[in-house]
Amino acid sequence: MKSSVRTGKLLLSFLVIVGFQIANLHAETCPRAKVVKGECIRGERLEHITWYAQNAYGTCVEKNQTQSKPCSILPGENFCQCAIVGDPHYRTFNGHMIHFFGNCTYSLAESKETHGECAFKIRGKNEHRHGNLRVSYLRYITVEMADKKITLHQFGRVFIDGVIASLPVEVNKDIQIFHSGTMVDLVSKKCGVVVSFDGNSNGYVMVSKDYRGKITKQGVDVSGKPDKFNLIGNSYSIESTLDGAHACKPAQPLPQNFCTNDQEEKLVKPTTQCGALLDAAGPFSACLDKVNAEQLYESCKIDICANANNAEALTRARCELFKAMEEQCSMKGISGLQWRAALNCPLQCGKNKVYSAKMDPCPKTCENHFFGTRKQCYDLPSQEGCECKPGYILDGMLCVKPSQCQCLEGCRDTGSKSDCKTWVAEGKCTKFPRLMKHVCRASCKFCVEEVTDVCVDRISSERCEKYRHEGKCDDKFYKMACGLTCHPFTCREYSFQFCLYGSNSSLQITFVCYFSLRQETYDPESHTDIMDKKTRKVHS
């Protein structure tokens, strides 16, 4: 009996094995795994993975998994980067560091192709600040591309063909301009060009490696072939209508012994000074192997010694270089660094703003809140800085409640013309002014508010800037034509209910819309910029 049972079990096992072998002869060939990548948001992207595995009968069974992966294209492996930091120091596309202190307009990068939708010219305008004529700082960046001239200016302001724009904004269905942390970014995905400016002194130009051998006017081609360094700087000065005859001067080279041994030992090497950039136990230790800290250290050394006799300027210079280090670390995916308290570089945030070591790279604005404008995050890293408190959104450079948005782009109705006409007749402009301001803005005639003329540029702000450089702001005619540019501080005395729009419906933003009371980064008594005629006149 036992023998027959044992025999039966052996026979069953044999049949099972044979069955599996026969099944395997007819097993399916499973499809390859598929990966579907989602949109990159706040430095993370969801990836949905589908793969197939054979079961015991040789049939393919579908398996699924979703996982989060970090993502970033700035600057990324497919991009070359040129950086302008401090006062100012240029890191070229092939990694050379050039210290150049002119205060003219200079070519940063230019495509060899002069025509076509992806032909571009990128230029930087420098300026002297704080009464120090030995060094200069990046004041603004202009991008000429797609038949448009776009200026990334101080305080996060953006001008398109001389008219100030409310962000985010799209140009020619490709170029996207938007706030990203402390930066304003201009991105052309079609052409592979990214330009960033922090509104103070640090700027970045990134181009696709497809431009290898196709870039000129920057001292170094993307191919890596270095130009003669004696051509750098003055030879790349661009004649500009904004550079007055006395304002733009050729830069002088640094003296060989610009930094004394005593200054270097006491002001440069300590880990609370420039030495922090190389400190393996310091706040930037996590990204020392990601960026060229030695280059930033040399830049910091120059800035410290150039400002050694001015304690306030010295502190400002070191903190600006630390900020540049933080920006470059974040571009390499290392964000949230706690460096400000450790290195005594506090950042005072403006009204309704709070400091964050890891800001939302795609903040909510009045434009996308009311008009449904698509957020343009792209693959951007988080940076540190001041962001709006919960419940507040960006209106120009201010953080306001959604009901207080004033600087929306364009004098236009978002509702249909017929609906707005009906609602106006029903008196809804008076009954529901806040709602109608966003739905039937033009029909309710909310675009114009009676305010003093002193706070309006009646012609393009770029032209007004030229007249201010020429010293014409004291002339009665130019006072009338360029009230905002010529008399920015007078505008403080007034408050506005709405933004002003010219007869051509192009945006003419008032002082309150983009000037954040100068609390966030700048000292109105010492910082020289477009808004400060008095100090600018002394320095030039």
Distance CA 105, CA 122 (A): 10
Distance CA 331, CA 334 (A): 7
Q: What backbone torsions phi and psi does residue 149 show, to the nearest 5 degrees?
A: -115, 115
Helix axis angle for 311-331 and 293-306, nearest 10°, is: 160
Name 533's Cβ contacts closer than 8 Å, sequence gap at least 6.
468, 473, 486, 488
Look at residue 499 in the predicted model and tell me its pLDDT: 30
Under 8 Å between Cβ of 105 and 238: yes
The one-letter amino acid code at 431 reads: K
Distance CA 423, CA 441 (A): 12
Q: Quick one: which H or E segment has residue 500?
A: strand 500-501
Widest pairwise Cα distance in the chain: 122
Under 8 Å between Cβ of 119 and 110: no
Under 8 Å between Cβ of 155 and 140: no
Under 8 Å between Cβ of 299 and 306: no
Look at residue 466 in the predicted model and tell me its pLDDT: 79
Tokens for 498, please give them.
């709405």
Look at residue 253 in the predicted model and tell me its pLDDT: 63
Q: Quick one: which H or E segment has residue 316?
A: helix 311-331
Distance CA 443, CA 418 (A): 10
Tokens for 310, please give them.
């001015």
Distance CA 491, CA 455 (A): 6
Q: What backbone torsions phi and psi does residue 300 show, to the nearest 5 degrees?
A: -65, -40
In tens digits, what is the pLDDT along the chain, a chain of 540 residues? Answer: 555 555 555 555 555 555 555 545 556 688 888 888 776 544 456 788 888 888 877 788 888 888 766 554 444 556 788 888 887 888 888 777 777 777 888 888 899 888 888 999 999 888 888 777 777 888 999 999 989 999 999 888 899 988 778 777 888 888 888 888 778 999 888 888 999 998 888 999 988 888 888 887 654 434 344 443 433 444 445 555 554 444 566 666 666 677 888 888 988 999 999 999 999 999 999 999 988 899 999 989 988 888 888 888 889 889 989 999 998 898 888 888 999 999 999 988 888 999 998 888 778 887 777 655 555 555 566 788 899 999 999 887 788 888 777 665 456 676 778 888 998 999 888 877 766 766 787 788 776 433 334 566 666 667 777 777 788 887 766 776 777 777 665 543 333 322 322 222 222 333 333 332 222 332 222 333 333 333 233 222
Q: Which of 294, 115, 109 lies closest to 194 in space, CA to CA? A: 109
Distance CA 286, CA 332 (A): 11
In this structure, the number of other CB atoms found within 10 A of the CB of residue 177 comes to: 21
Name 304's Cβ contacts closer than 8 Å, sequence gap at least 6.
259, 263, 267, 268, 273, 274, 314, 317, 318
Look at residue 81 in the predicted model and tell me its pLDDT: 84
Does the bond joining 75 to the residue before it have cis omega, within 30 degrees of 0? yes
Distance CA 409, CA 282 (A): 44
C-beta contacts of 357-362 below 8 A and 24+ residues apart: 357/384, 358/382, 358/383, 358/384, 359/181, 359/182, 359/383, 359/384, 359/385, 359/387, 360/42, 360/181, 360/387, 361/42, 361/43, 361/180, 361/181, 362/41, 362/42, 362/178, 362/179, 362/180
Q: Point out which residues pair with 149 in neighbouring strands.
A: 144
Distance CA 127, CA 138 (A): 6
Distance CA 167, CA 160 (A): 11
Tokens for 504, please give them.
């051509």
Place of tokens 């306001």: 400
DSSP class per residue in 212-247: TT-EESSSB-TTS-BPPGGGSSGGGEE--TTS-TTT
Tokens for 146, please give them.
């797609």
Under 8 Å between Cβ of 254 and 122: no
